[in-house]
Structure 1
Amino acid sequence: MPDSNPLQQPRVGCGAVIQRADGAVLLVKRGRQPEQGHWGLPGGKVDWMEKVEDTVVREVREETGLHVTVVRLLCVVDHFEPELGQHWVASVYLARPLDDAEATSLEPDAILALDWFTADALPAPLTRSARSGLSELSLLR
């Protein structure tokens, strides 16, 4: 087990595999570390005393303008970035849009691009959380 520093604590995050009725999923291109430039899931940091599922809904709305409902937990990802001094534990949920609103990047520094992708046309590279969540849905082979 690695040496622990009492000042270093894992951070709690979450992400959403947002899947439309036609099967396409929304992915965002990250503008910040960790995994800057990779295609990943909308999501973010869980706030103090906030339920993780509530965080998913809030973060998706803040980042993309979409209103979603959480369907189920897909997986939990341990993400270690020693060179950045970061350790994230991220729950990844399946979510569905509640309406036909258009997704848009509301945080242009954090999200460089976003788009809907089908399983046979996923972009690369993908973040760890995106790979794990998409694998759970059998969208990533």
Structure 2
Amino acid sequence: MTVPGHDYIGLGVGAMVFDARGRVFMTRRGPAARNERGSWEFPGGMVAFGETLHDAVRREFVEEYGMRVEPYRLLDLFDHILPDEGQHWISATYLAAHVAGTPAIREPDKCTEIGWFELDGLPGPVSLISARNLERYLGEP
């Protein structure tokens, strides 16, 4: 059996989701997370065969947190290479709005904490990909 991100480059998608107050949603990766366990991230997941990137973002947030989000702009594509974990991903990160639903942890092995944070008060440590997302976001005018 081949494994995405290990045996071939995996395709992931995630989002910086903002609420009406301008706070961003973050999650802490749990013991069953695919990589970077214990770090905080702008969440997402793998894109399924035949699924659009936007649909993957929407699905992941419903499945993992019970919330509806609407991606409105691609932030960027990122090389997410983790040599120490033997993984290589291409990650598309979107900016998205929280549309409905109170976030809750639905996969406690993959996620141990969630929250809404001001950009100048993010928890840490932040995952490699989320640090790059944040740098790209803050570098924009």
Query: So what's the TM-score if we normalise by structure 2?
Result: 0.87
Task: Give how far 1:137 is off.
Answer: 2.8
Provide structure 2 residue ranges, at least 5 long, that are not aligned to the other structure. 1-5
Larger Cα-atom Rg: 1
Trace 1:110-121 onto structure 2 (pairs within 5 A): 110-121=110-121
Task: Give how far 1:10 is off.
Answer: 0.3
1:19-59 deviations in Å (ceiling 9; x for gaps): 01211000000012411000002210011111111101100
Count residues in correspondence. Answer: 132
1:74-93 deviations in Å (ceiling 9; x for gaps): 01111112233210110000
Trace 1:125-136 onto structure 2 (pairs within 5 A): 125-136=125-136
Q: Which amino acid aligns with 1:114?
A: I
Provide structure 1 residue ranges, at least 5 long, that are not aligned to the other structure. 1-6
Question: 1 CA distance for matches of 2:85 and 2:121?
Answer: 31
- 2:79 matched to which residue of 1? 78
Question: 1 CA distance for matches of 2:82 and 2:119?
Answer: 28
CA RMSD of aligned residues (A): 1.6
Question: 1 CA distance for matches of 2:127 and 2:85?
Answer: 16
Task: Give how far 1:131 is off.
Answer: 1.6
Question: 1 CA distance for matches of 2:82 and 2:129?
Answer: 13
Question: 1 CA distance for matches of 2:121 and 2:44?
Answer: 22
Q: Which amino acid aligns with 2:18?
A: Q
Task: Give how far 1:136 is off.
Answer: 3.0
Query: So what's the TM-score if we normalise by structure 1?
Result: 0.87
Question: 2 CA distance for matches of 1:89 and 1:43?
Answer: 12
Question: 2 CA distance for matches of 1:41 and 1:30?
Answer: 10
Question: 2 CA distance for matches of 1:17 and 1:85?
Answer: 26
Q: Which amino acid aligns with 1:123?
A: P
Identity %: 36
Task: Give how far 1:132 is off.
Answer: 2.2
Which runs of at least 4 in structure 1 moved beyond 3 Å after TM superposition? none
Paired residue secondary structure (1:137): helix
